[in-house]
Amino acid sequence: MILGTASHVGKSIITAGICRILAEQGYSVAPFKAQNMSLNSWITRDGAEIGISQAVQARAAGVEPIAEMNPILLKPKGDRASQVIILGRIHADKSAGDYYETIHSVMDVVEESYDRLSQDYEFIIIEGAGGAAEINLYDRDIVNIGVARRFKPPIILVGDIERGGVFASLYGTIQLLPEDIKTLIKGIIINKFRGDPALLTPGIEELEKLTGIPILGVLPYTKLGIPSEDSVSIGDKEPADRSVTIAVIRLAHISNFTDFEPLEEHASVRYFEPDQPLGSVDAVIIPGTKNTIDDLMELKEYGMDREIKRCAEAGIPIIGICGGYQMLTSTITDRAIESTAETHTVLQGLGLLNAETRFEEYHKYTEQVTKIVTADGPILGRVKGCKVRGYEIHMGTTSHNEEPAFGDDGCTDKRGLVIGTYLHGLFENREITNALLGFLHERKNLTYTPITRREDPYRNLTDLLHDNLAMEQIYNFLEIEETE
């Protein structure tokens, strides 16, 4: 089990790395996170919705993601409520108080999911959530204390030195853990260090002396090209200085911004708050959102709607994914399904697509899809007839009178420069990425070299762990021997 001193210390990435290492040793291995709170999610082959980190970890392990790997997913919706996903299916919108009243039945789902995985896999690598020592939640914490107490796995505790105070956070976390959980900790990892690890030696020796727990290693700060777990990661993004700039609107309830991470290697992808002017950008992306209505109202409040329309009038490509697609339409009708308001709402969209969106029933569309590019225009016309793969996660439906973009999904305006689609994972398709980046470079008279292959980020990740961690100690408490 991988626990952390706080959120965003590197639990997800380290879990993925250990999954890959064990898989390369020939073991069958599955990731497991009892409860995830994230707006970045993934759709399995059978249409179940799980946190994207468990899908990434399953990919690292070379196995197919399934709902049991993340039995409970909480998607914050605003107004102190979250959409509760149980075993990949939408359950209800609940406040924290209402959710915790049912925590015992939820734990039953967690245990059943773990038991199913244990029947099919030799190893289960468990990821905790947030900080392990949330002492106010011990009586209802199913993802850290509950899982550790129920299954008693050997635990690795991870601390993030980039945030400062790593020795205090590690020591404080250990001291605040219940005694039966504290004894399960077999090692500590210090993550995201910039500099010479030798500088940490005195602190490492003192921490080992105080806790009796070995430091397994110090991992350097590294960019790996692995999808981010949640919106906390946006703050860490450092856009590269490249010839083409793509603006992504940072919506209050932004979801699945991992859609745009494949573009970061080839363009300067910059996130703009709703009150920031866009300036001279080459393309604008409106991402998915857990709350289309409220986020659109915020764009209008701060004038971002006018900024987007200004760019569209100037011939700058505007791409809306999922909730962003819904915002591009002329009108949005919500029968108290999508927004935090409890009344019927009709809202004017951005009006850049001749289309209408309606939220009329509490139903979520979740499926993996394969579509054919059917649109013309300077971007999609380059790859018309190509197959693209992605997945849909959305409430509401959209009808349009525009040129369809991907068969029965999405549409474009008559110029082909405003594109809307429900397809997440669109830029995982090299054809689409090359079509967009090729167009953006050509209109600036720049040379663009099409992407032909992507580097395996998991290879880099396992090299990172092997080079910086005492892997033999991890093998020892997993009771396995390293193979050649």
| DSSP string across 287-309 | -EES-HHHHHHHHHHHTHHHHHH
Task: Judge whether residue 174 has pLDDT over 70.
Answer: yes
Predicted local distance difference test score (pLDDT) of residue 231: 52
Task: Please tell me the pTM assigned to this model.
Answer: 0.85
Task: Judge whether residue 481 has pLDDT over 80.
Answer: no
Lowest-confidence region among 118-127, 141-150, 201-210, 454-463:
454-463
Answer whether 401's CB lies under 8 Å from 450's CB. no
- The DSSP call for residue 146 is I
Question: 183 pLDDT band (50/70/90 cuts)?
Answer: very high
Report the b/e string of 137-147 with b at 16+ CB within 10 A.
Answer: bbebbbbbbbb
Task: Judge whether residue 230 has pLDDT over 90.
Answer: no
What is d(CA 439, CA 377) in angstroms, rounded to the nearest whole number?
11
Task: Judge whether residue 69 has pLDDT over 60.
Answer: yes
Lowest-confidence region among 174-178, 184-188, 237-241, 392-396:
237-241
Lowest-confidence region among 26-40, 58-72, 219-233, 451-465:
219-233
Residue showing tokens 């107490």: 149
Predicted local distance difference test score (pLDDT) of residue 362: 83
Across the range 350-360, mean pLDDT stands at 94
Helix (H), strand (E) counts: the chain = 14, 27
What is d(CA 211, CA 171) in angstroms, rounded to the nearest whole number?
7
Answer whether 125's CB lies under 8 Å from 29's CB. yes
Predicted local distance difference test score (pLDDT) of residue 335: 83
To the nearest 10 degrees (0 to 180), the angle between helices 52-61 and 457-468 is 80
Across the range 178-199, mean pLDDT stands at 94
Report the b/e string of 288-300 with b at 16+ CB within 10 A.
Answer: bbbbbbbbbbbbe
Is residue 203 within a helix (H) or strand (E), and if so which, with residue range? helix 201-211
Predicted local distance difference test score (pLDDT) of residue 78: 67
Is residue 204 within a helix (H) or strand (E), and if so which, with residue range? helix 201-211
Q: Is the dihedral of CA 335, 341, 343, 348 positive or negative?
A: negative
pLDDT digits (tens, 9 = 90+) for 317-350: 999 999 999 999 999 998 877 776 666 788 999 9
Predicted local distance difference test score (pLDDT) of residue 336: 76
Mean pLDDT computed over every residue of the chain: 91
Predicted local distance difference test score (pLDDT) of residue 225: 72
Q: Under DSSP, is residue 476 helix (H, G, I), strand (E, B) or coil? A: helix
Highest-pLDDT range among 185-199, 248-262, 306-320 = 306-320
Predicted local distance difference test score (pLDDT) of residue 235: 59
Task: Judge whether residue 240 has pLDDT over 80.
Answer: no
Closest CA to 32 of 142, 134, 140: 142
Predicted local distance difference test score (pLDDT) of residue 28: 96
Predicted local distance difference test score (pLDDT) of residue 161: 94
Predicted local distance difference test score (pLDDT) of residue 401: 86
pLDDT digits (tens, 9 = 90+) for 269-311: 999 999 999 999 999 999 999 899 999 999 999 999 999 999 9
Catalytic residues: 322, 424
One-letter-per-residue 3-state SS of 85-134: EECCEEEEEEEHHHHHHCHHHHHHHHHHHHHHHHHHCCEEEEECCCCCCC
Across the range 431-436, mean pLDDT stands at 96
